[in-house]
Structure 1
Amino acid sequence: MTDINQGTPASERLQPSGLVRRFLSRDKTPVSVLFLSALVGVGAGLLSTLFEICVHWISEQRTEWLRAEFSSMLPLWLSAFLISALLALLGYYLVHRFAPEAGGSGIPEIEGAMDDLRPVRWWRVLPVKFIGGLGALGSGMVLGREGPSVQMGGNIGRMVSDMFRLRDKEGRHALLASGAAGGLAAAFNAPLAGIMFVVEEMRPQFRYSLISIKCVMISAVTANLVFRSLSGQEAVITMPQYDTPVLRSLWLFLLLGMAFGVFGVVFNKLVTLTQDMFVKIHRNNRRRYLITGSVLGGVFGLLLLYLPELTGGGIALIPSATNGEYGVGLLFLLFVARVATTLICFGSGAPGGIFAPMLALGTLFGTFFGAVAQHYFPDLGLQPGMFAIAGMGALFAATVRAPITGILLVIEMTNNYHLILPLIITTLGATMLAQVLGGQPIYSQLLHRTIEKEKMAHREQSEAVNT
């Protein structure tokens, strides 16, 4: 029997080869681009997972050095200061000497590259971000590995485009976005959040098309498969599984979201003010820059020894806070103190991200708010951990201005699917109030700042030449 419309025998169309030919004839996406997006996902997944493994190894080795080698020669506090100062020095030096665009989280650089406003020098950024990030994060500074994973993933996308000499602009753009999605999916073990981050947060830069969205999805899934193969399938954060809260308690989640909406706007402004403060301190002079970074790293080495709760990305702090290990007053003090340490570390220009520190801040204040709500409304049966999870999504939504990504990210990281309604309400309240207050998304704000600084530098250079 022959299908008149297709002109192909039905028996042949039911064969695997016939199905493949039909798919390829109907799907106009170049197969080569889809294959390259999978390759980008493998590269982003491998690099992000290796980065995580190396960060843990550096942290463990640092402890071993303190115990075995240096403690016999120097006082423990001096050994801690020197080791962290040297690790931080490595990160700051590589950034200032070889790739200034590798400073900070790197996500604004990827957004700028997607808009053809920023260069992608993957041959410089990949080694600098990887090695420099290990130094900065290994020193104990309050930085996350997720931003670097996104930047390195995007650079993997451009590297693959260059290596395979891809000329198509849409294809090159799709692979750049695919790398960013793969980096985030592997860093958080959150493939849906990786896809949505590119589609939602990078929406001004992301050129949505069937080709680009397929590439992003393939890369995110592939990168996540690589991560799970190497690191396991467990959620990134180990937390209790909470039941759905009663409906009459949802107004408290809205109130928490509004509080984070206000804080998110203030926090974003404080980030730029802190960056300006560090520019005034080092004046872009390499020697001053390295001294400032080394001292900062050394101080966090001391804090790592005596006050470890104020150091590191903060992911390990989240289960402790939600399991009731800190009192209400201590939770608030930790929140305030970590706001200061987060601003100092990120504002200094060290090669590290702000994702994880923001999630820790959301957890601390959310748990504090939940403990207060539990005290005043005991009949609602609420647990502080519910508000901790909602707080993570709310602060992310208020600062990054990507509520759907925040919801998916928190759910995938904690496996608390029953809290999706409170999460939606909290993130919606945070996003809407932040928008009403005129706050700008943090990564767009940082990209605009970078472009303005570059224009000013060119202007000063031109004036110097003319005179």
Structure 2
Amino acid sequence: MEFKPLKSILQSPRFKKTIGRLNPLLFWAAIAGLITGVLGGSFRYLVSAILDSRIRWIDSLDKLPGQGAIVSIIISAIMVYLGFFLMRRIAPDTSGSGIPQIEGMLSGHFPLVWQRVLPVKFSTGLLILGSGMVMGREGPTIQMGGSIGKMVGTWFNANQEQTRVLVAACGGAGLATAFNAPLAGIMFVFEELKPTFEDEVRAYHAITLSCISATIGQQLILGTGPVLKLTQFETPPLASLWIFALLGIAFGFIGYAFNTLLVKSLNFFSSLRGRSYQFTGLFIGGFIGLMSWFYNPTTGGGEEMIIWSFNNVEPSHVLLLLFFIRFGMTILCYGSGAPGGIFAPMLSMATLFCLGIARQTHTWFPTDLPYPEVLTIAGMGALVAATVRAPLTAILLTLEMTANYQLILPILVSCFTASTTAHAMGGRPIYTVLLERSLKK
């Protein structure tokens, strides 16, 4: 067969037709995803560095009675106050997790001004999360990701539909970056953001590619491996599945209560006026600083607390008490309107609750539950499924974060029962409620 020179191939009508069919959206999505991964990975690194530096400095001051407490209160109060000031003065739409704002943009209700959202969410996220507030990093990375999608669309003069795809794709890339979980990021877009596109197949390809490139970007900054380096457990016996079903039912009730109280907290803080409103960040930040000095596991996003709870053999009553404290702290912090997410705090709450009951459950049913810590892995996904009402995202997120893929059946059971229990009680997905609340305002 005669070989055609490269020039003739490039100039052939068939090649030009093929090139014409290529979708530039995929190229844009890959670029936007990579930027999201690098920026989100840097954000994760800086938050951890600020938290560690603050804790080490405060610990070094405890040689003098009360000095560590005073410094901790002052530092956290100033950081949270500055975070609130920047958010309220420059970009009020960066309040909370940012997920309802992304959903509102995709449905045509809200604008997305990336020029102010991106820098303000990054800086306030560092201040709020670095202060020890009980909030997750996934909210900031998701909203920053959506803003990056809008930014890249502006660079390439993308049309309205292409911009919507980029925003959705990079929103999922933000979740993938926060937890090193690309599959969960992809599922999050379709299960939580629920956008509709003119060309679903091309949009799916762009979302997938964005999550892949974002994961590569964040791994360049933070390295590979699961976010939570926990024990790789063996598959529990089939006879134990009823325990995971009961666990899911319990988290269905907890998730329903969490959503209800969270909305009440938001309504309370939004009703504040005058100095109470002006100094909200100062008061809450000071309280966070005090709690951080008094007992550090009560504060922080949750990842460090999960590792701590696995590495320290604490009595069950201590773990359950810590669960209730962090439950209340999460409602307080998120309800205040501070920039941050609730995924990571929920994962830590589930860990504490499950570890608190796991030993007793193992004592009662040693053959059905040979490894009591397995309850913790299943419980993480169950609480997310009950509150966010995105069970597939919760399942994939749990598997990718812990690398316990062999526990997929127990996780499926717990997530399904948690979601259906919360639904049967009349609960609604938290981000849907928050979006409707924002639209009414």
TM-score scaled by structure 1? 0.88
**Matched residue, 1:57:** 49
Residue identity in the other structure for 2:270: V
Residue identity in the other structure for 1:307: Y
Question: Structure 1 stretch 417-426 or stretch 72-81: which is displaced more?
Answer: 72-81
Distance 1:419 1:396, change over 3 A: same
Whole-angstrom distance in 2 between the partners of 1:14 and 1:376: 73
Whole-angstrom distance in 1 between the partners of 2:226 and 2:416: 25
What residue ranges of structure 1 are gaps of 5+ in the alignment?
2-8, 454-467
**Matched residue, 1:266:** 257
- Answer yes or no: is 1:397 the counterpart of 2:389: no
**Matched residue, 1:86:** 78
**Matched residue, 1:36:** 28
1:383 to partner: Cα distance: 2.0
Question: Is the partner of 1:384 in helix, strand or coil?
Answer: coil
Which residue, out of 184, 195, 202, partners 2:193? 202
Question: Structure 1 stretch 223-232 or stretch 64-73: which is displaced more?
Answer: 64-73
1:14 to partner: Cα distance: 13
Question: Is the partner of 2:132 in helix, strand or coil?
Answer: coil
1:370 to partner: Cα distance: 2.2
Question: Is the partner of 2:338 in helix, strand or coil?
Answer: coil
Q: How does 1:387-426 map to 2 (within 5 A)?
A: 387-426=375-414
Distance 1:327 1:133, change over 3 A: same
Identity %: 43
Whole-angstrom distance in 2 between the partners of 1:23 and 1:383: 59
Question: Structure 1 stretch 406-415 or stretch 360-369: which is displaced more?
Answer: 360-369
**Contact in 1 for aligned 2:386/2:422 (Cα 8 Å):** yes
1:21 to partner: Cα distance: 9.5
Describe the superposition over 1:64-116 as per-residue Cα deviations: whole angstroms up to 9, x where unpaired: 55467898898221111111111101110011111111011111100111101
1:371 to partner: Cα distance: 2.0
Whole-angstrom distance in 1 between the partners of 2:47 and 2:20: 42
- Answer yes or no: is 1:232 the counterpart of 2:223: yes
Question: Is the partner of 1:352 in helix, strand or coil?
Answer: coil
1:368 to partner: Cα distance: 2.3
1:279 to partner: Cα distance: 1.9
**Matched residue, 2:111:** 119
Q: How does 1:146-185 map to 2 (within 5 A)?
A: 146-167=138-159, 169-185=160-176
Q: How does 1:212-223 map to 2 (within 5 A)?
A: 212-223=203-214
1:362 to partner: Cα distance: 1.3
**Matched residue, 1:384:** 372
1:62 to partner: Cα distance: 2.1
Q: How does 1:285-364 map to 2 (within 5 A)?
A: 285=274, 287-323=275-311, 325-364=313-352
1:405 to partner: Cα distance: 0.7
How many equivalent pairs are there? 439
Distance 1:171 1:388, change over 3 A: same
Whole-angstrom distance in 2 between the partners of 1:171 and 1:117: 17
Whole-angstrom distance in 2 between the partners of 1:336 and 1:382: 27
1:301 to partner: Cα distance: 0.9
Residue identity in the other structure for 2:234: D
Distance 1:121 1:244, change over 3 A: same
Question: Is the partner of 1:273 in helix, strand or coil?
Answer: helix
Question: Structure 1 stretch 196-205 or stretch 263-272: which is displaced more?
Answer: 196-205
Question: Is the partner of 1:351 in helix, strand or coil?
Answer: coil
Distance 1:13 1:182, change over 3 A: farther
RMSD of equivalent CA atoms: 2.5
1:12 to partner: Cα distance: 6.5
